[in-house]
Amino acid sequence: MEVSSDKIASGRSEKTNEAFFEDAFEVVGHGRFNYIVLLTCGLIMLNVSMESVGMSYAITAAECELNLTSEHKGLVNAAAFIGIISTSFLWGYFGDRVGRRAVMLPALLASAVFSVASSFAVDVWMLMFLRMLTGCLVSASSATVYAYLGEMHMNSRRASAIAWGSVFISFSFITLPGLAWLIIPGKWSFALFSFTVVPWRAFVWSWCAPGLVAALLLLFLPESPRYLLSAKGPDAALPVLAKMYSWNHRASADQFPVDKIILTNMDSEKPAGFAGAIKNIGLMFRPPLLRCVFISHISMFSVFMLSSGLYVWVPELLNNILKNTSEKSITICEIIMEKLKKTEVSSCTVEVSIGVFPISMAMGAVFALTYLAIGMFINKIGKKRLYCGIMIICGVATMGAAFVPQGGAATALLILALCSGCAASILAAIAVDVFPTCLRAMAMCLMYMVGRTGAAVGSYLLGATMNTHCLAAFIVFGSITMGSTILMLFWPKPEEVRDKLEQRGLTY
């Protein structure tokens, strides 16, 4: 039953007898509540990004203290991604079983504890183990947050909400080098519980703040009403909609003009334990979702392989470029070979060039502008067209960075190549539309699990091949990035997928 806009405006206590869930959600409107949700989810995304790639700034400073080789650095950079990968299925199940908020809140707090513990590592293997445990906990919110953010918005605003939330990811690429600039170059140290804390260890503590603030905000936010409708029924979802209405309209929850949500056959689908989750997951690997899963997973692997896999090496690449004293114009790969020859005949001494940090911050500013542009134009240009355009440009830039002489041009192309990470939010917006509520958290977790696998593979492969097959590595990474866009030609129409699944009793 349609709700009168006059009734909403008047704020009278008179109730509409009944309304379908989507109609009731439209009554809730868009306002202050949605902005708070956006801020909270943005901070969670910021936390995930900082925990995932933060070690890339610390390992250069820790190289001599922990006796790190290039292969060790690749493993340390990949450790958080491995933790995320190994637990994504578990967190996806819990996200669909007990709720999005119920999973994210404790995991945010626990991940901060293990992250701080990793700063006390005394060797590379201890550091890897603790970073992997941190990744296991970060995994809980790394993809569940997209389901939560999307479900807190009307269907018409879902894609733009995810795009705007993802802008916060770019802030990590400004905040991390900024914090590193303030902390890592310091020559100080102090004793804490018989342990000597040096700047790079204190730097690890600094990036835990966004997750703790997000956890505090989550204390005041409710569970997703779409999840509650699917898992517990309309009586559980209605109070949340009323609370959202009261925040958006600065009114009492009692003034929410919907008294009852009408159940449809689709709304009656509820979780049925682990066996039910396995049954639901089976739907992902059968038509019509099979094609969507195949395309989205390979695409996300490609996005993360380049963006995160390359990003964790950018501070070291920039440091090599800035430390190069050759008077000739030589490429990034040639600079790496020169550094390797010098290392073989000298003792370990590491000095991080100050220039790395402002360049990295400028890179983060470019990412922020890219994310903002995506949020503004995603609905005008179209999600698939925008995704393909970004990936093709970034693929070309990746290959170009290995061929141009070192300096400004190579750095600019590296920055452009890393903008491929911005395409992950577009891909999430494309994928979230086709998965029903009972599968959404699991589907996003699995998709990001595959993406993080790409990051881990990319990070390790670059670490293993940088000194031996540098040029080939850049060419392969760029080719995979561009080639993955071909899959988008076969992405089905979301309306057709939804219609087929709604006929089976699943709800969106």
Taking only the tens place, the pLDDT of each residue in 66-113 is 888 777 887 887 888 888 888 877 887 888 888 899 999 999 999 999
Residues whose CB falls within 8 Å of the CB of residue 189, separated by 6 or more in sequence, listed in order: 196, 197, 198, 199
Q: In angstroms, rounded to a whole number, what is the distance separating the alpha carbons of residues 338 and 263?
A: 69
* pLDDT score for 285: 85
Question: Which of 167, 164, 138, 139 shows the shortest CA–CA distance to 153?
Answer: 164
Helix (H, G, I), strand (E, B) or coil at 415: helix
Cβ 331 vs Cβ 438: under 8 Å:
no
Q: In angstroms, rounded to a whole number, what is the distance separating the alpha carbons of residues 180 and 201?
A: 11
Where are the domains positioned within the chain?
A: 1-30+234-269, 31-233+270-502
For residue 20, give the H/E element and its range: strand 19-20
Structure tokens at 457: 């593979």
Residues of the chain scoring pLDDT < 70: 1-17, 143, 264-280, 325-327, 339-352, 406-407, 508
Question: Which of 91, 86, 196, 66 shows the shortest CA–CA distance to 147?
Answer: 91
Question: Which of 308, 27, 287 shows the shortest CA–CA distance to 142?
Answer: 308
* CATH pick for 31-233+270-502 out of 3.40.50.620, 1.10.630.10, 2.160.10.10, 1.20.1250.20: 1.20.1250.20
* pLDDT score for 467: 74
Alpha helices in 63-99 (DSSP H): 70-97
Taking only the tens place, the pLDDT of each residue in 223-245 is 999 889 888 888 999 999 999 99
Structure tokens at 99: 């709720």
Name the residue type at position 502: E
- For every residue of 105-126, which 3-state class applies, written as one string? HHHHHHHHHHHHHHCCCCCHHH
Structure tokens at 41: 């989810």
CA dihedral 417, 144, 129, 313 (to 10 degrees): 10
Question: Which of 144, 45, 135, 138 shows the shortest CA–CA distance to 99?
Answer: 144
The sign of the torsion formed by the CA atoms of 151, 154, 158, 160 equals negative
* pLDDT score for 165: 85
DSSP for residue 16: B
* pLDDT score for 340: 62
Question: Which of 264, 238, 222, 283 shows the shortest CA–CA distance to 508?
Answer: 264
Question: Which of 131, 109, 107 shows the shortest CA–CA distance to 118?
Answer: 131
Structure tokens at 126: 């201890």
Phi first, then psi: give them for residue 405, nearest 5 degrees: -60, 150
Q: H helices then E strands: how many in the chain?
A: 24, 4
* pLDDT score for 134: 94
The reply to whether omega before 288 is within 30° of 0 (cis) is: yes
Cβ 146 vs Cβ 428: under 8 Å:
yes
Q: In angstroms, rounded to a whole number, what is the distance separating the alpha carbons of residues 218 and 144?
A: 14
Phi first, then psi: give them for residue 191, nearest 5 degrees: -90, 135
Question: Which of 224, 223, 237, 222 shows the shortest CA–CA distance to 268?
Answer: 237
